[in-house]
Amino acid sequence: MQEPTLPALVAMILATDLLRYLLGAGLVWLVVYIILGRRLADRRILDATPRAGQIRRELVYSMSTVAIFAANGLMLFLLAAGGYVEIYEDVDRYGWVWWWASLALIIVAHDAWFYWTHRLLHDRRWFRAVHGRHHASVHPTPWAAYSFHPVEAAIQAVFLPLFVAVVPTHSGVIGLFLVHMILRNAIGHSSHEVFPWRWMRTKAFGWLTPVTHHHFHHARGRGNYGLYFTWWDRWCGTEDPEYLAYGDSHFGKPSMERAVA
């Protein structure tokens, strides 16, 4: 099979990143705001309403993030082709146990990367110059999943090359991780608590971040820096307890749990 030319490769990677964003954020938007809009009306967090022009701004910044992620993907492809990082295709090379273990590892590692870089971006200087662009969405929509300043987008993009530089990773693991990332990100910016709140108060699921966790971060501009898990916020004392109290009072009632059952 003939190798694609560089322009064709660039176009393919750019199209893939663009489709992942549009389909991921668009699917969450369609389900939460259109299909289940009425049923989830009482699950809206802090009476969230997007400001005029907000979605357009989220889309504009997301397009620059897509371009940066695509450039990062091209760099990763070239590094793998040159043998500098190991992205393998044959599952039998390491076996299925490692396949699933590496998927769990990349998600856990990404959550740690996100927590510490996100917390750094809340330094006053970084926030004013960079991260404040993302926080312009006080009540975000799923389209804010990629709404980053270019510097922040680059900081988040570099995680994947760093990870595969030290961890042999199957291409399917990378693909599934990227799908998981956009879906969890879009859901986390949906401004509606789509998870059964009773789960958040159990040992089995209390380590997962509900939508209210990240929404309070946007609305209050502090604490709750984690992406997928509550571990780092609890270990480091940066969890905002108000989001739990709010969830208990607004979403902890049986009638509300049935609305999303």
Q: What does the alpha-carbon distance between residue 206 and residue 15 come to, in Å, rounded to a whole number?
A: 36
- From residue 139, alpha-carbon distances to 32, 46, 58, 67, 157 in Å are 14, 8, 12, 25, 24
CA 9 to chain centre: 25
Q: How confident is the model at residue 258 (pLDDT cuts 50, 70, 90)?
A: very low
Instruction: Give residue 163's region: left, alpha or beta (phi > 0; psi -120 to 50).
Output: alpha
For the entire predicted model, the pTM comes to 0.91
Domains of the chain, by residue range, sit at 6-259
Helix/strand/coil for 222: coil
CA 119 to chain centre: 15
DSSP state of 170: E
Q: What does the alpha-carbon distance between residue 122 and residue 131 come to, in Å, rounded to a whole number?
A: 7
pLDDT per residue over 57-109, tens digit each? 999 999 999 999 999 999 999 999 999 999 999 999 999 999 999 999 999 99
pLDDT per residue over 201-230, tens digit each? 888 899 999 999 999 999 998 899 999 999
Report yes or no: 59 and 148 within 8 Å, Cβ to Cβ: no
Considering only CA atoms, which of 46, 180, 40, 161 is closest in space to residue 103?
180
